[in-house]
Structure 1
Amino acid sequence: MQDFFALFFSKFIVAVAGLIPILNPLGATPIFLTLTTSYSSEERALLARRVSIYSFLLLLFSMLIGTYVLAFFGVSIPIVRVCGGLLVAAAGWKLLNSPENTGGASEPIGSAADHARRAAELRQRAFYPLAFPFTVGPGSITVAITLGVGIHGQDAHQLAIPLGSALGAAALSGIIYVCYRYGDRMLRLIGSTGTVVFLRLSAFILLCLGAQILWDGASGLAGEFLVAHPWQFAPTGQG
């Protein structure tokens, strides 16, 4: 039993320590605020709760069966990074060129049909793009897949590994919720002009993050190509 708890807590700590620098909930909060400026405080709170739940499911899914899914479709990690980088960069460019919107309450919802349509919109945006790829992106998924490699072994205390990893993902989703839920207080402190500057800078940082993820994926693909075809770049003899 002592070995079980030791393995459980070690996997919990490894999951949190390995993922929190990549997820960076505090750093992702400005992006969340940038993407939700048109929503009211109540709607933003609902989005924060849904994003945290979806983030937990994405991390857990990646840990448990991420390697099997990628292998089934024949997709490599560098390809995931390239595609995810394109998504993030495109969204950052769109936000950078969008009309100024300093937030505030959304327009009142009239009929029940309007309310249902607004609720459906919130559910959709909570997963894409807020949970994926902005909160749990290609980098987080890659780390989660790596952390989940040892889950399917045959150790006597093997149950401790998925339990520790799942609890680590749950703790991270709780941190995400707290950061997103109370992040809008920052906008109220800096005022309307500061909000415009803050949101534009956040959009530019988002564009840079997308470019960085894309570059990492392209570099990985180039490395795989060089390993698979070394003869094409071997130095030729001189006659």
Structure 2
Amino acid sequence: MDSLLPFALLCFTSFFTLTNPLGTMPVFLTMTQGMSKDERQRIVKRATIISFLILIVFTFSGQFLFKFFGISTNGFRIAAGFIIIKIGYDMLQARYTNVKLKNEEIRTYANDISITPLSIPMLCGPGAIANGIMLMDESTSWSMVAILVGIIALVYLLTYFILKESTRLVDLIGETGNNVMMRLMGLILMVIAVECFVSGARPILIDIIQSSLPDMLPAGAAH
């Protein structure tokens, strides 16, 4: 039980910051400008369900993909660390999203923005997918797997309510409040990314050092 609580907190903080529903609100309001409340609600509902399903599929199939492509877990952790730290840096600069949308693109996606770009890559981007695969790899018991799936469901449930009430929330917290929260979450995300990078780099460096030690020893020293 003592190890499950820190794992649950790690899952929640990392997924919530990577999903970033608060930062998605302004972009979502721009893309749905002129739509009714019911239309926005349908878009949000579909986007969160699709994001949840995609993330669950990648989370559970990650190890199979590693074996199929011959990718090491530690190498993936290092790459994921770079991805997550880039997202965290953007949030630290109070950039609403790492997806740059032009007016023409918004019009193009107006008929089905619930899939692209709202679900992919905004609510379920490469950072969230990489995080899901890593946390599944660290889940050593069925209890941890259940917590991981439950936290993902909780995060997307919160995302649904946040985007559903985005108009009220934007007026409530204001631009300054949103920027402050964005920077704090970005800082947390960068710390998680550093831990992720170090956990992947440490075993690789240890293997390199251990494999090079016999060559560095004088002849006969091993005997």
Q: How does 1:100-139 map to 2 (within 5 A)?
A: 113=108, 115-116=110-111, 119=113, 122-124=115-117, 126-128=119-121, 130-138=123-131
Kindly indicate whether residue 134 of structure 2 is the aligned counterpart of residue 142 of structure 1: yes
Partner of 2:37: none
Partner of 1:182: 161
Instruction: Give me the whole-angstrom Cα distance separating, in 1, the residues matched to 2:213 and 2:123.
Output: 41
Deviation per CA, 1:87-120: give whole Å up to 9, x if none.
111222234346679xxxxx8x997x4524x627
Q: CA deviation at 1:141?
A: 1.5
Q: CA deviation at 1:235?
A: 9.1
Q: CA deviation at 1:36?
A: 4.5
Cα distance, 1:143–1:224 mapped onto 2, change above 3 Å: farther
Figure out how many residues of one structure are paired with residues of the other and give that number: 196
Cα distance, 1:180–1:218 mapped onto 2, change above 3 Å: same
Q: CA deviation at 1:26?
A: 8.2
- Give the TM-score of the pair, scaled to structure 1: 0.60
Q: CA deviation at 1:214?
A: 1.9
Cα distance, 1:19–1:49 mapped onto 2, change above 3 Å: farther
Instruction: Give me the whole-angstrom Cα distance separating, in 1, the residues matched to 2:217 and 2:190.
Output: 36
Residue 136 of structure 2 contacts residue 148 of structure 2 at CA under 8 Å; is this kept in 1? no
Instruction: Give me the whole-angstrom Cα distance separating, in 1, the residues matched to 2:118 and 2:192.
Output: 20
Cα RMSD (Å): 4.2
Partner of 2:67: 71
Cα distance, 1:20–1:133 mapped onto 2, change above 3 Å: farther
Cα distance, 1:37–1:218 mapped onto 2, change above 3 Å: farther
Q: CA deviation at 1:165?
A: 9.5
Cα distance, 1:169–1:200 mapped onto 2, change above 3 Å: closer
Residue 31 of structure 1 contacts residue 206 of structure 1 at CA under 8 Å; is this kept in 2? no
Identical residues among aligned pairs (%): 14
Residue 59 of structure 1 contacts residue 169 of structure 1 at CA under 8 Å; is this kept in 2? no
Kindly indicate whether residue 205 of structure 2 is the aligned counterpart of residue 222 of structure 1: yes
Cα distance, 1:179–1:228 mapped onto 2, change above 3 Å: farther
Pick which of 81-90 and 126-135 moved more: 126-135
Q: CA deviation at 1:35?
A: 4.2
Q: How does 1:44-63 map to 2 (within 5 A)?
A: 44-62=44-62
The secondary structure found in structure 2 opposite 1:91 is helix
The secondary structure found in structure 2 opposite 1:115 is coil
Q: CA deviation at 1:58?
A: 1.7
Residue 89 of structure 1 contacts residue 206 of structure 1 at CA under 8 Å; is this kept in 2? yes
Amino acid at match of 2:16: A
The secondary structure found in structure 2 opposite 1:90 is helix
Gaps of 5+ in 1: 1-12, 102-106, 151-160
Residue 15 of structure 2 contacts residue 128 of structure 2 at CA under 8 Å; is this kept in 1? no
Instruction: Give me the whole-angstrom Cα distance separating, in 2, the residues matched to 1:174 and 1:100.
Output: 23
Instruction: Give me the whole-angstrom Cα distance separating, in 2, the residues matched to 1:100 and 1:74.
Output: 35
Amino acid at match of 2:154: I
Kindly indicate whether residue 78 of structure 2 is the aligned counterpart of residue 82 of structure 1: yes
Partner of 2:36: none
Q: CA deviation at 1:85?
A: 0.8
The secondary structure found in structure 1 opposite 2:28 is coil
Residue 86 of structure 1 contacts residue 210 of structure 1 at CA under 8 Å; is this kept in 2? yes
